[in-house]
Structure 1
Amino acid sequence: MNSIKLFSISIFITFSMQSQKKEVQIITTKISDQVFMLKGQGGNIGLFIGDDAVFMIDDQFAPLTPKILEAIKKITPKPVNYLMNTHWHGDHTGGNLNMQKEGALILAHKNVRKRMSVDQVIRGKVKKASPKEALPVITFTEDMMMHINNDDIYVSHIHKAHTDGDALVYFTKNNILHTGDAYFQGKFPYIDLSSGGSINGYIDGIQKMIVLANDETKIIPGHGNISNKRELISFKKMLVDLKSRIQTEIDNGKTLEEVKHNKKITKDYVSFNGWITEEKIKIAIYKSLNK
């Protein structure tokens, strides 16, 4: 009987996973004649097309690669030549191996390759090292430029924000900025302390985006909808306010438990609740400031 129950559970789990996979749809949004955003399951994908090459930003999870490639073929018949990883997390790099097999050259900050090369612990779970073929083959330290498709692409590292390997990608002539998870549109951000993230670095990263952007800049966040400079400014204010309030609590000798249950800290920003809740963002900021 137990073996029958286990078999039934196994079938149910497999069926559920397949159902979830089938339910994921890749939704394409045209931002300019050359730049598109693809939403599916995981981080938002950026796609830049032109006569020279097809340039892709992030690639979500491995099982979604066929759907993503199908969506890309509806935009351009050309293969993806370059793939930029904005950081190392699996919902942005899970398709690397598949894309490498498709002929894409993978680029990222040096810390992305470093973290993907060895086992990592994220949210208490071990993430196994990626195979060599899935690793970035071109890495940079601070900033780099790419000159393709009649545009100048500015790629810039943000220090210790979401992780220690975050990259912004700014299409200067198209005036479109892809932020990776250094910006969560309309929601509290995930600050991965175990991967070198910090509240101070996150705020500095948002400020860098604000400096790069103007009122016409279209912003592709790591998660959420297409955004703009006005929303970035509001987002920064939220982070600065929370940091200030939690720092005051720390200076007054408050414990993490006391801060976690203090609803006054986030009372003005309940609309930012999402995957990262009020409690989770308070924990992250408290631990970051106490490091």
Structure 2
Amino acid sequence: MKYLKPLALSILAVCASGTANAQGRFDAVEIRTQEIAPGIAVLFGAGGNIAVSHGENATVLIDDQFAPLSAKIEAAVAELGASPVKYVVNTHWHGDHTGGNEHFGKTGATIFAHTNVRVRLSTPQQRGEHTIGPSPDEALPVVTYDQGLKFHLNDDTIRLMFPGGGHTDGDSVVFWEEDNIVHMGDLYFNIPGYPFIDVASGGNVYNAMRSLDLVIAMIDSDTQVIPGHGAMSNKAELVAYRAMMGEAVGRVDTLRADGVSLEDALAAKPLADIDRGEGGFIDEDAFVTAIWSSAG
């Protein structure tokens, strides 16, 4: 935990705090909307990127950010001309993607997620010095799955798929099959900094790479890629992200095979020339530690 950047620490703190205490942190947040296909939009605010599918059948949210933003998210959905949210999909359990669950559950939305998301939301989770949860019943996924399922809505097939986890043990990706769009959740961070592998939540960098490989094999150069955080992306950028991850893992694996300790591996700064820019959720040491821990 000591290598997490302030951004990640603040998110964990908000996840562990009460709604009243957290509200003030989000008063200035604006929800920005980008329509990427007829009836499909992405909402950017604070926390994970939200996808919205809307049409004559129902409105579906993919993730719902933080609880204090729920009213702003509802307003952004209404501005799209969409009906109130009927279904919510959680790509994983973290509070910057599931914080709105309680609100939308109380307004009648049905929440869908991988089985492990419900497990983690329904039991206390230790995040450094903070204990999170359990979440109230209204915030829990009502429909869970192990492999995936499909919605047939709004003239599209919306496919939820568990590719094997990696960021956590419950990561889903979401495909719009007819519109050639995929939401990656936090398997893909299109922001500065290194990939956040949440080992404490069952994350594993080797699983993450396999999940990315699976998705990359399923998309093409025209696919619109929604990352968990950051601007809209595409296959080429996702491939480059996967290559960067593989290069980093290879370097750490080499050090481990040479019999060095984790302390010596950190001191060697094996990722020093992999420029990930300033900011992000975690620093180089946290990513090296996550790779080391993923190997068992």
Partner of 1:218 in structure 2?
224
Contact 1:158 1:165 in 2 (8 A): no
Partner of 2:171 in structure 1?
166
Q: Residue type matched to 1:287 in 2?
A: S
Aligned ranges for residues 195-206 of structure 1 at < 5 Å? 195-206=201-212
**Structure 2 residue 242 is the aligned partner of structure 1 residue 246:** no
Contact 1:242 1:266 in 2 (8 A): no
Partner of 2:16 in structure 1?
none
Partner of 1:3 in structure 2?
none
Structure 1 residues 101 and 215, CA gap change in structure 2 (3 angstroms)? same
Q: Output the CA distance in 2 between the equivalents of 1:273 and 1:285.
A: 20
Q: Residue type matched to 2:207 in 1?
A: G
3-state SS in 2 of match to 1:219: strand
Q: Output the CA distance in 2 between the equivalents of 1:228 and 1:145.
A: 23
Unaligned runs of 5+ in 2: 1-20
Number of residue pairs matched by the alignment:
277
Q: Output the CA distance in 1 between the equivalents of 2:286 and 2:259.
A: 20
After TM superposition, the score normalised by the length of structure 2 is 0.89
Contact 2:22 2:68 in 1 (8 A): no
Partner of 2:239 in structure 1?
233
Q: CA deviation at 1:86?
A: 0.5
3-state SS in 2 of match to 1:24: coil
Unaligned runs of 5+ in 1: 1-15
3-state SS in 1 of match to 2:85: coil
Partner of 1:147 in structure 2?
152
Q: Output the CA distance in 2 between the equivalents of 1:37 and 1:51.
A: 19
Q: Output the CA distance in 2 between the equivalents of 1:76 and 1:214.
A: 30
**How far does the alpha carbon of each residue in 1:128-184 deviate from its partner, in whole angstroms, 9 at most, with x for none?**
200111100001111211111111111110323011111000001111100111111
**Greater relative contact order: 1 or 2 (C-alpha under 8 angstroms, separation 6 or more)?**
2
Q: CA deviation at 1:122?
A: 2.5
Structure 1 residues 264 and 192, CA gap change in structure 2 (3 angstroms)? closer
Structure 1 residues 287 and 77, CA gap change in structure 2 (3 angstroms)? closer
Aligned ranges for residues 77-92 of structure 1 at < 5 Å? 77-92=82-97
**Structure 2 residue 267 is the aligned partner of structure 1 residue 265:** no
Q: Residue type matched to 2:217 in 1?
A: V
Aligned residues with identical type, % of pairs: 39
Contact 2:165 2:203 in 1 (8 A): yes
**Structure 2 residue 282 is the aligned partner of structure 1 residue 276:** yes
Q: CA deviation at 1:274?
A: 2.0
3-state SS in 2 of match to 1:113: helix
Task: Give the number of the structure whose alpha-carbon radius of gyration is greater.
Answer: 1
Q: Output the CA distance in 2 between the equivalents of 1:159 and 1:179.
A: 13
Structure 1 residues 266 and 286, CA gap change in structure 2 (3 angstroms)? farther
Structure 1 residues 123 and 203, CA gap change in structure 2 (3 angstroms)? farther
Aligned CA RMSD, in angstroms, stands at 1.9
Contact 1:27 1:40 in 2 (8 A): yes
**How far does the alpha carbon of each residue in 1:9-61 deviate from its partner, in whole angstroms, 9 at most, with x for none?**
xxxxxxx9665322211111111111111011110000001111111100011
Partner of 1:6 in structure 2?
none
Partner of 1:181 in structure 2?
186
Structure 1 residues 44 and 270, CA gap change in structure 2 (3 angstroms)? closer
Partner of 2:131 in structure 1?
126
Q: Output the CA distance in 1 between the equivalents of 2:248 and 2:164.
A: 20
